[in-house]
Structure 1
Amino acid sequence: MDMCHFQLHHPDSVPRHVLLEELVGREHYLEQILLPLKEQRPVHERPPILLLGPAGLGKTSLLWALKYGVEADPQLQADWLPVLFPEEPNAIGDHADFWLTAIRCLTESAGLVNDHADRLLEEGGKQLAKKARALFFKLSQDVLGKKVLLLVDSFDQIARAFMNEQDAWQFREHLVQHAELYVVAAAPAYFKAVTDMDGVFYDVFRFVHLDPFRRDLAQQAFRKWAGFYKSEAVQALIKEEPQRFHTLRVLCGGNPRLLRQVFRIWHRGESRDVLGDLERLYDDLGADYKNRIRRLKPLVRRTFDAIARHWRPVGVGPLTRQLRKPSNYVSAQIKRLTEEGYIEEVGGSEKRKTYQLVERFYNLFYLARYDRQNYTKVTDLVDFMDLFYRPSLLIGAQAPAPANDWKPEQPRAMRFAYYNAFGGCLGSPKRRGLVARPFRDDESSRRFQMLEADLTQNLPDHVREDRPVEAAETAAWFSRWVGPLIERVYGEHPEASAWSDAVLVLRQLQALPLAEATCRRALAAFPEDARLWNWLGALCEERGLPEEALEAYQSACSHDDHYALAHANLARLYAACFGRFDRAEEHAEKALEKGDREPIYWFLMGNLYAFHLGRYEEAEEAYGQAIDLRENFFTAWNNLGIALAEMGQIENAEHAFRRTLRWRNQSALPWNNLGVLCGERMDRAAYAEHAFHRAVDADKTLALAHANLGLLYRGPLQRPQQAEDSLMQAIEHAGESGLYYLDLGSLLIGGGRRARAMEYFIMALKLSPEEPLCREAFLKMTGDNPYPWSEVLPSLLDYLPTLIRGSDLQTMRHFILQGFFCLARAGRDDTVTELLEHEAVHTCFQPLREALSLKQGKISIDQLAPERLALIDEVRDMI
Structure 2
Amino acid sequence: MDKEKYITLSQLGVYNPQRLDDDTVERLFVVRQKFFEFLIKKINKETPNSIPQHYLVIGQRGMGKSTLLKRIEVEFRKEASKFIPLLFPEEQYNLNKLSEFWLNSLDAMADALEVEQKTEEVKLIDSKIKELQTISDEDDLARSAYQFLIKMSQQLKLRPVLLIDNMNFVFDRLDKSEQHTLRSWLMENKAPIVVGASAVEIEETFNYEAPFYDAFQVSHLKKLTFQELIEVLNNLARLTNAKEVLDNIHDEIARLKTIHQLTGGNPRTAVMLFKIIVKGFSKEINDDLEALLDEITPLYKARFEELSTQLQIIVDAVALNWDPINLEQLRNETKLSNGQLSPQLKRLVELGWLEKLDAYKAKGNAYQISERFFNIWFLMRRSSRRQKKELYCLSKFLETFYGDDINDVAKKSISLKSKNVNQITYKLALAEVTTDEELKRKLYDSCDIDIREQAKTNPIVFEDFGKYITQISNKNKGNKISRIEEEYLEKIKNDAENYFNWFRLGYFYHEKGEIEKAKIAFIKSSELDNNIDATWNNLGIIYTNEGNGEKAKECLEKAININRNNGMTYINIGINYLYNLYEYAKAEKAFLKAIDLGTRTSSLFNVLGNLYQDYLREYSKSEKAYKIALQINDTEIYSVKYNLVFLYRDKMNKQKEAEELFSTLIINKDLKDSYWLNKSLFELYKKNQGTASEFLLKALNIINNKLPTNTQDDWFRFAGVTLKQGFGKWLLEILKENDFDIILAPYYVAIKAILEKDTEGYLNSKALEIREPAKKIVEIIQNSNI
TM-score range relative to shorter protein: 0.5 to 0.7
CA drift at 1:159: 1.9
User: What is aligned with 2:396?
Assistant: 383
CA drift at 1:305: 1.8
Q: Which moved more, 1:824-833 or 1:379-388?
A: 824-833
CA drift at 1:243: 1.8
Does 2:152 align with 1:139?
yes
Give the 3 Å change call, closer, same or farther, for CA 11–407 of structure 1 in structure 2.
closer
Letter in 1 for 2:370: V
Letter in 2 for 1:191: I
User: What is aligned with 1:289?
Assistant: 300
User: What is aligned with 1:20?
Assistant: 26
Give the 3 Å change call, closer, same or farther, for CA 39–797 of structure 1 in structure 2.
same
Give the 3 Å change call, closer, same or farther, for CA 751–768 of structure 1 in structure 2.
closer
User: What is aligned with 1:101?
Assistant: 104
CA drift at 1:201: 2.0
Q: C-alpha separation between the residues in 2 aligned to 1:9 and 1:846?
A: 34
Query: Which residue of the other structure, out of 657, 667, 673, is the alignment partner of 1:767?
Result: 667
Q: C-alpha separation between the residues in 2 aligned to 1:9 and 1:37?
A: 27
Give the 3 Å change call, closer, same or farther, for CA 760–230 of structure 1 in structure 2.
farther
User: What is aligned with 1:366?
Assistant: 378
User: What is aligned with 1:260?
Assistant: 271
CA drift at 1:174: 2.1
Does 2:770 align with 1:868?
yes
Does the CA contact (< 8 Å) of 2:85 and 2:162 recur in 1?
yes
Q: Which secondary structure state, in structure 1, belongs to the residue aligned with residue 13 of structure 2?
A: coil
Query: Which residue of the other structure, out of 688, 693, 698, is the alignment partner of 1:799?
Result: 698
Query: Which residue of the other structure, out of 161, 179, 182, is the alignment partner of 2:193?
Result: 182
User: What is aligned with 2:10?
Assistant: 4
User: What is aligned with 2:716?
Assistant: 821
Give the 3 Å change call, closer, same or farther, for CA 383–146 of structure 1 in structure 2.
same
Q: Which secondary structure state, in structure 1, belongs to the residue aligned with residue 356 of structure 2?
A: strand
Give the 3 Å change call, closer, same or farther, for CA 752–220 of structure 1 in structure 2.
closer
Letter in 1 for 2:53: P
Q: C-alpha separation between the residues in 1 aligned to 2:95 and 2:662?
A: 73
Task: Summarize the alignment of residues 738-753 of structure 1 with structure 2, pairs less than 5 Å apart.
Answer: 749=633
Letter in 1 for 2:40: L
User: What is aligned with 1:155?
Assistant: 167
Q: Which secondary structure state, in structure 1, belongs to the residue aligned with residue 210 of structure 2?
A: coil
CA drift at 1:382: 1.0
User: What is aligned with 2:455?
Assistant: none
Q: Which secondary structure state, in structure 2, belongs to the residue aligned with residue 230 of structure 1?
A: coil
Letter in 2 for 1:197: Y
Does the CA contact (< 8 Å) of 1:47 and 1:206 recur in 2?
yes
Q: C-alpha separation between the residues in 2 aligned to 1:766 and 1:846?
A: 31
CA drift at 1:53: 0.4
Does the CA contact (< 8 Å) of 1:762 and 1:791 recur in 2?
no
Does the CA contact (< 8 Å) of 2:56 and 2:219 recur in 1?
yes
CA drift at 1:173: 1.2
Does the CA contact (< 8 Å) of 2:205 and 2:213 recur in 1?
yes
User: What is aligned with 1:306?
Assistant: 317
Does 2:704 align with 1:809?
yes
CA drift at 1:795: 7.9
Does 2:63 align with 1:57?
yes
Letter in 1 for 2:129: L
Task: Summarize the alignment of residues 210-225 of structure 1 with structure 2, pairs less than 5 Å apart.
Answer: 210-225=221-236
Query: Which residue of the other structure, out of 43, 67, 71, is the alignment partner of 2:73?
Result: 67
Q: C-alpha separation between the residues in 2 aligned to 1:346 and 1:752?
A: 47
Does the CA contact (< 8 Å) of 1:48 and 1:176 recur in 2?
no
Does the CA contact (< 8 Å) of 2:166 and 2:197 recur in 1?
yes
User: What is aligned with 1:114?
Assistant: 122
User: What is aligned with 1:322?
Assistant: 333
Q: Which secondary structure state, in structure 1, belongs to the residue aligned with residue 11 of structure 2?
A: coil
Q: C-alpha separation between the residues in 2 aligned to 1:293 and 1:409?
A: 58
Q: Which secondary structure state, in structure 1, belongs to the residue aligned with residue 93 of structure 2?
A: coil
Does the CA contact (< 8 Å) of 2:404 and 2:709 recur in 1?
no
**Aligned-residue CA RMSD (Å):** 4.4
Q: Which secondary structure state, in structure 1, belongs to the residue aligned with residue 122 of structure 2?
A: coil
Q: C-alpha separation between the residues in 1 aligned to 2:251 and 2:780?
A: 22
Letter in 2 for 1:310: N
CA drift at 1:11: 1.6
Does the CA contact (< 8 Å) of 1:820 and 1:832 recur in 2?
no
User: What is aligned with 1:465?
Assistant: none
Give the 3 Å change call, closer, same or farther, for CA 788–746 of structure 1 in structure 2.
farther
Give the 3 Å change call, closer, same or farther, for CA 59–393 of structure 1 in structure 2.
same
- Please tell me whether Structure 1 or Structure 2 has the larger radius of gyration of its CA atoms: 1
Q: C-alpha separation between the residues in 1 aligned to 2:332 and 2:635?
A: 69
- The percentage of counterpart residues that share the same residue type is 21
Q: Which secondary structure state, in structure 1, belongs to the residue aligned with residue 211 of structure 2?
A: coil
Give the 3 Å change call, closer, same or farther, for CA 748–332 of structure 1 in structure 2.
closer
CA drift at 1:352: 0.7
User: What is aligned with 2:262?
Assistant: 251
Give the 3 Å change call, closer, same or farther, for CA 60–216 of structure 1 in structure 2.
same
Q: C-alpha separation between the residues in 2 aligned to 1:259 and 1:161?
A: 33
Does 2:246 align with 1:235?
yes
Give the 3 Å change call, closer, same or farther, for CA 96–138 of structure 1 in structure 2.
same
Q: C-alpha separation between the residues in 2 aligned to 1:305 and 1:826?
A: 41
Give the 3 Å change call, closer, same or farther, for CA 756–193 of structure 1 in structure 2.
closer
CA drift at 1:799: 3.2
Task: Summarize the alignment of residues 416-815 of structure 1 with structure 2, pairs less than 5 Å apart.
Answer: 749=633, 767-769=667-669, 772=670, 797-800=696-699, 809-810=704-705, 813-815=708-710
Give the 3 Å change call, closer, same or farther, for CA 368–756 of structure 1 in structure 2.
closer
Does the CA contact (< 8 Å) of 2:359 and 2:765 recur in 1?
no
Query: Aligned pair count?
Result: 527
Does the CA contact (< 8 Å) of 2:163 and 2:195 recur in 1?
yes
Q: C-alpha separation between the residues in 2 aligned to 1:751 and 1:38?
A: 62
Give the 3 Å change call, closer, same or farther, for CA 174–763 of structure 1 in structure 2.
farther
Q: Which secondary structure state, in structure 1, belongs to the residue aligned with residue 249 of structure 2?
A: helix
CA drift at 1:314: 1.4
Does 2:193 align with 1:172?
no
Does the CA contact (< 8 Å) of 1:104 and 1:114 recur in 2?
no
Q: C-alpha separation between the residues in 2 aligned to 1:65 and 1:816?
A: 47
The one-character-per-residue Cα deviations of 1:403-439 (angstroms, maximum 9, x if unpaired) are 9xx99669xxxxxxxxxxxxxxxxxxxxxxxxxxxxx
Q: TM-score, normalised on structure 1?
A: 0.53
Q: C-alpha separation between the residues in 2 aligned to 1:836 and 1:268?
A: 41
Query: Which residue of the other structure, out of 39, 48, 54, is the alignment partner of 1:48?
Result: 54
CA drift at 1:389: 1.1
CA drift at 1:28: 1.9
Letter in 1 for 2:122: N
Give the 3 Å change call, closer, same or farther, for CA 824–216 of structure 1 in structure 2.
farther
Q: TM-score, normalised on structure 2?
A: 0.59
Q: Which secondary structure state, in structure 1, belongs to the residue aligned with residue 196 of structure 2?
A: strand
Q: Where does the alignment leave 5 or more consecutive residues of structure 2 unmatched?
A: 1-5, 418-436, 442-472, 476-628, 645-658, 684-691, 782-786
Give the 3 Å change call, closer, same or farther, for CA 750–301 of structure 1 in structure 2.
closer
Does the CA contact (< 8 Å) of 1:172 and 1:200 recur in 2?
yes
Does 2:39 align with 1:33?
yes
Does the CA contact (< 8 Å) of 1:120 and 1:128 recur in 2?
no
User: What is aligned with 2:348?
Assistant: 337
Q: C-alpha separation between the residues in 1 aligned to 2:46 and 2:309?
A: 53
The one-character-per-residue Cα deviations of 1:777-827 (angstroms, maximum 9, x if unpaired) are x99xxxxxx979956997874335656xxxx73576444433123556899
Letter in 2 for 1:293: F
CA drift at 1:296: 3.4
